[in-house]
Amino acid sequence: GATDMDCEVLVLGGGPGGYSAAFRAADLGLKVVLVERYATLGGVCLNVGCIPSKALLHVAAVMDEVAHLKAAGIDFGAPQVDLDRLRSHKDKVIGKLTGGLAQMAKMRKVTVLRGVGQFVGSHHLQVEETTGDGQEKTGSKQVVQFQRAIIAAGSQAVRLPFLPEDPRVVDSTGALALKEIPKRMLVLGGGIIGLEMGTVYSTLGARLDVVEMMDGLMQGADRDLVKVWQKMNQHRFDRIMLNTRTVGAEATPEGIRVSFAPAQEGGEAPEPQVYDLVLQAVGRSPNGKKIGAEAAGVAVTERGFIDVDVQMRTNAPHIFAIGDIVGQPMLAHKAVHEAHVAAEVIAGELQGNKELASAAFNARVIPSVAYTDPEVAWVGLTEDQAKAQGIKVKKGLFPWTASGRAIANGRDEGFTKLLFDDSPEAGSGDGHAGRGHGKILGGGMVGTHAGDMIGEIALAIEMGADSVDIGKTIHPHPTLGESIGMAAEVAHGSCTDVP
């Protein structure tokens, strides 16, 4: 059809990737159209991901903390949970943020088109208007012509084919809807999303089982970190089923009856169990196959990802892609940084600005956080990876039993661990040559607020800091963040015990 609107940059998808790209492009002076099918901007992260989960996890953490206070002589009695008010609290949190995004789009004169976008040509996207809070189509269509496009269409939860269509089987979005608190809940998949939601439901009263194909929960994190989390969370679980596959499920009046099999031959699997709620948290799949990419000449992989180069450019030179749709890790902070790169490259090319046009995504590390209680956070090289790759590292580990603040908080179960390059070449050529200490390669923390502190380790890695740099940086006392300086001193060998 004819073109109804044109722009310099078309952004498909209004999540953290999409709105960040649109805002940066507009700030750089470009005419931007942002297409989003839902009523609000913010994508998965703000509407059904990072933010609502953290609103609920905060409530759960305070409830758990209050229980810890019993030991300090403070007793609050049993909590009274009003799910309706908790739900509306969470919705208010989301509303503040998505409302803020709408304002910011307006201020920047970003045109937001509400509808489902499909590429219909190399420079054309058709938008079919949607309405309501879901995706009901109004039938009204328009075609937007663009010079450059940024695909930020994100991902959605993987659905296991053998699970029945039943309100008692949910994905993370269904779990965040917080319809009711089940007595018995199965968390299917022992990754971050499943364990975060499991934490919320368990604090609100559910008994948990978790089933995981691999040999441990929270894959990707070092086992010593996970062990601390697991010890503190054992009480939530009736069963932690590792090396176990879920093979069938049946809706019965009593609940969802789920059967299991060993992940490897020769293993043993538990008896079938009946649950009031089954949360599928077995991963997310990219939306690459649902946007008409072929019409624009953009290649999509078998699994629905879109491959990009370091400038976030797809195989079609005028089309870029960012966020969950370009691959792991599927994290909001990765999407935002990729978004800025794509917007800058486009602005640079359209405006003849060589410096902007050469922008590239070259982050050394991307931190990961499980916002459980305690939190588990890690960044860069892990100890397991160092072992597997034969990289020689010097470890500085600081147990929080030696942290004044952690003890004062009544939460000294955590620790902070830093890994420094200990290869023969390490330590030469930087400011502290000759002391035998290489640059920091990675770090991990488990403990309350670990996620708020891991950014410092990421900064140290980005700046090529060594143990002297970190150890001699004065951290305020008494804080949990001090443990990072202390861990560096432990690695450096100048301090073995602590005030």
Q: Which is nearer to ligand FAD, 14 or 427 (CB)?
A: 14
Contact positions with ligand FAD (CB under 6 A) in 364-403: 371
Instruction: Give dist(CA 118, CA 128) in Å, integer.
Output: 8
Q: Does 117 bind ligand FAD (CB under 6 A)?
A: yes
Does the footprint of ligand FAD cover residue 341 (CB under 6 A)? no
Q: Based on the shown chain and the rule CB under 6 A, indicate whether residue 340 belongs to the binding site for ligand FAD.
A: no
Q: Is 333 among the residues that bind ligand FAD (CB under 6 A)?
A: yes
- Residue keyed to tokens 């300086």: 485
Please, which of residues 304-323 interact with ligand FAD by CB under 6 A? Answer: 323
Rounded least distance, CB 92 to ligand FAD, Å: 18
Residue number with CB closer to ligand FAD (23 or 371): 371
17 binds ligand FAD (CB under 6 A): yes
Site residues for ligand FAD, window 166-185 (CB under 6 A)? 172
The reply on whether position 153 binds ligand FAD by CB under 6 A is: yes
Number of chain positions touching ligand FAD (CB under 6 A): 37
With tokens 């700046």, the residue in question is 463
Give the strand pairing for 184-188 and 393-399.
unpaired
Kindly tell me which of 184 and 290 has the beta carbon lying closer to ligand FAD: 290
* Phi, psi angles (nearest 5°) of residue 10: -105, 125
Q: Is 191 in the site for ligand FAD (CB under 6 A)?
A: no
∠ CA(389), CA(393), CA(394), 5° rounding?
Answer: 165
Closest CB to ligand FAD among 37 and 432?
37
Q: Which stretch binds ligand FAD (CB under 6 A): 150-158, 225-233, 390-398, 402-410?
A: 150-158
Least separation in angstroms between residue 47's CB and ligand FAD is 7
Q: Is 45 in the site for ligand FAD (CB under 6 A)?
A: yes
Residue 391 is classified by DSSP as -
Amino acid at 289: K
In the complex, least distance from residue 46 CB atom to ligand FAD, rounded to whole angstroms: 8
Residue with tokens 């297409």: 35
Q: Segment near ligand FAD (CB under 6 A), from 43-51, 61-69, 249-257, 293-301?
A: 43-51
Are 158 and 285 in contact by the 8 Å Cβ rule? The answer is yes
CB of 130 to ligand FAD, least distance (A): 8
Calculate helix-pair angle for 332-351, 16-27, nearest 10 degrees. 30
Residue with tokens 């034969």: 390
| Residue reference for tokens 């995706």 | 135
What is the C-alpha separation between 263 and 269, in angstroms, rounded?
9
Does residue 89 have an active-site annotation?
no
When the beta carbons of 191 and 447 are compared against ligand FAD, the nearer one is 191
Work out which of 50, 206, 256, 487 binds ligand FAD, going by CB under 6 A: 50
Assess contact for 164 and 250: CB atoms under 8 A.
yes
Only one of the segments 98-106, 153-161, 224-232, 381-389 lies at the binding site for ligand FAD (rule: CB under 6 A); that segment is 153-161
Strands (E), 381-439: 393-399, 415-421
Using rule CB under 6 A, residue 152 touches ligand FAD: yes
Choices 72-80, 287-295, 297-305, 404-412; region in contact with ligand FAD by CB under 6 A: 287-295
CB 163 within 8 A of CB 249: yes
Contacting ligand FAD within 22-41 (CB under 6 A):
35-38
Span interacting with ligand FAD, options 142-150, 205-213, 312-320, 332-340, rule CB under 6 A:
332-340
Query: Is 330 one of the binding residues for ligand FAD (CB under 6 A)?
Result: yes
Stretch in the footprint of ligand FAD (CB under 6 A) among 95-103, 324-332, 357-365, 491-499: 324-332
Q: How far is the CB of 16 from ligand FAD (least distance, A)?
A: 4
Which has the closest alpha carbon to 369: 152, 156, 50?
50
**Which is nearest to 446 in space by CA: 489, 481, 406, 416?**
416
CA-based nearest residue to 179, from 211, 204, 162: 204
Contact partners, residue 223, CB within 8 Å, separation at least 6: 216, 384
Cα distance from N-terminal residue to C-terminal residue, the chain: 73
Q: Where are the alpha helices (DSSP H) in 283-371?
A: 332-351, 354-357
Lookup: tokens for 474 = 């004065």
Q: Does 155 bind ligand FAD (CB under 6 A)?
A: yes
Is residue 350 involved in binding ligand FAD (CB under 6 A)? no
Strand ranges (E), 19-72: 32-36
Helix, coil or strand: residue 169: strand
What is the amino acid identity at position 175?
A: A
| Catalytic annotation, pick one of 123, 235, 449, 477 | 477
For the CB of residue 20, give the shortest distance to ligand FAD in the complex, in Å: 8
- Cβ closest to ligand FAD, residue 33 vs residue 50: 50
Helix ranges (H only) for 69-208 are 83-107, 172-176, 192-203
Residues recognised as catalytic: 477
Q: What is the binding site for ligand FAD (CB under 6 A)?
A: 12-18, 35-38, 43-45, 49-50, 53, 116-117, 152-155, 172, 193, 287, 290-291, 323-325, 330-333, 335, 371
